[in-house]
Amino acid sequence: MIQWSQWLIDNWLLVATPVLILLGSFVAGLRLRKVAYDAFSQWLAKTRWEGGQLVVEATQRSFLHWFLLLGIYIAIQVSVLPSGSKIIAGKVIGSLLVLSLVWVTISLSEKLLKLCLTKIKAPQPPTTLAVNIARVTIIIVGVLILLDIWGVPTTPIILVLAAALFIAGLALRDAIPNFISGVQIAWGEQIKVGDFIKVEPGEAGYVTDITWRNTQIKTLEGNFVLIPNNTLARTTVVNYGRPVKKATYPFRFYTRLHLKELTGLKARNLREMVNILREVPDSVVYYHTHHFLEEHHYLTPEPANDFALWVSDALGNEILGERLAAIDTFDFPTIGTLKMRLVDVIEDYLARSRDWQTAPEGREFHFIRSISVILPTPYVAYDLREFVEVIKKITTGSIYFHIFEARLRVPKGTNDFSIWVEDCLEKKELGDKIAHLDPYIYTLESLRAAIIKLIEKNI
């Protein structure tokens, strides 16, 4: 006992140094832990990451243990122990550190995986499988590190594991990319349930669900489309964000078909034309004015009506033809008033000129009646963003029905689009801009583009 006391007195510095290193490591660990976790808490306050608290709970206590192990290792290395003992002690401490890291990593990965997979609504089997894969992977890595620390060859084990991973990758080559992409989508939060997205090129609609394999969207037609997460991650996606203001009443898009029916009536001169025109139903006048305009929608400026063309071409009367062509088809609230205007113009000309010129044989004016069949389309818009996306899809016939024919149906003498925008979305300025688009300077396609431009600028 006396000898040990004397030895300590003579060699106190050799004992004090390791002890001071151990205490210094403990104090440094306490200080560094406070600084690190304070900074981490500030970062969490900004990002609001849901997994932040899990990281703190899993690592806060072990963080100090790791510094103690580091202090013990340094203390042993500077001590007077034999070199062989130092090597063994270093391996033991390294093994303890690896075991601690493996334990913390397994616990943390399980919690984070469950949080992430719950967020993307992954079913129980894939969740359990992912947790087990993570657990086994971490354990294998930890065992390989331990074997390397103790000098055991690891190359054969690594080769076996690589072969097993290759086989598993082939078996799960479709599921794994979708799973990884699903995790990226969920954690990145660039696409969330409720967002309106457009996949280029492809579907557009509202995101209704995000799972570990697919992202589901509801299209404007009301269909549900499943897009594999891997496809979504590799494709250009335009995210328009959350829905805009909902309309008080949805806009339902319609179109219509026209059937032609010969009436058996024909005119060879102006007198016969005006006499027949007085008696024919409005559907005949509609065909030779509005339907004619739709058939030639690709011409700009807009073409005249059938009556004006026949008078100019078949009768060679360009003066009257220009007068008939100058009649604004859409300036009349009803077809009946348009018909009377046509009759008045022809009667006025006959009263002044007494033109009885007859059309050549085979070029008589044949009166055709239009039979309209209104059909619903699958498109319904509940807000302005859905509305503009539908405008891009519908046919020119549907645009004609809601823009041009609407003037004959609605009391305001405007169009269906403007009325819905004003009444159901309370956007009077936008409704007025759509209503004031001059149909005579646009083709139907350019009119579609002009409407889309106005709405997108408003959005």
pLDDT digits (tens, 9 = 90+) for 213-270: 778 888 766 778 887 777 776 777 777 766 567 888 899 999 887 788 888 899 999 9
Report pLDDT for 300: 46
Residue 195 has pLDDT above 60, yes or no: yes
Higher per-residue confidence, 442 vs 285: 285
59-75: average pLDDT:
78
Report the CATH number at residue 205.
2.30.30.60
- Is 183 contained in some domain? no
Higher per-residue confidence, 43 vs 330: 43
407-426: average pLDDT:
78
Report pLDDT for 1: 52
Report pLDDT for 219: 78
- Is 370 contained in some domain? yes
Q: What pLDDT band is residue 288 in, cutting at 50, 70 and 90? A: confident
Are 451 and 347 part of one and the same domain? yes
- With beta carbons less than 8 A apart as the criterion, state whether 395 and 403 touch: no
Q: What pLDDT band is residue 298 in, cutting at 50, 70 and 90? A: very low
Ranges 291-300, 320-329, 334-343: which has the least confidence: 291-300
**Into how many domains does the chain fold?**
3
- pTM beyond cutoff 0.75: no
Higher per-residue confidence, 146 vs 293: 146
Residue 382 has pLDDT above 80, yes or no: yes
End of a domain among 224, 242, 260? 242
Kindly give, in sequence order, each residue whose CB lies less than 8 Å from that of residue 248, ignoring residues fewer than 6 positions away: 423, 424, 425
Are 101 and 223 part of one and the same domain? no
- Is 365 contained in some domain? yes
Report pLDDT for 167: 64
Are 314 and 377 part of one and the same domain? yes
296-308: average pLDDT:
62
End of a domain among 198, 221, 242? 242
15-29: average pLDDT:
73
Are 117 and 217 part of one and the same domain? no
Residue 369 has pLDDT above 80, yes or no: yes
- Is 233 contained in some domain? yes
Are 128 and 200 part of one and the same domain? no
300-312: average pLDDT:
75
- Is 184 contained in some domain? no
- Is 80 contained in some domain? yes
- Is 182 contained in some domain? no
Structure tokens at 441: 């300077």
What is the percent of the chain where pLDDT is above 90? 6
Q: Provide the mean pLDDT of the chain.
A: 77
- Is 344 contained in some domain? yes
Q: What pLDDT band is residue 183 in, cutting at 50, 70 and 90? A: low
Question: What are 91-143's pLDDT values in tens digits?
Answer: 888 888 888 888 888 888 888 777 776 766 655 555 666 777 778 888 888 88
19-35: average pLDDT:
77
Higher per-residue confidence, 18 vs 54: 54
Domain holding 336, by residue range, is: 247-459
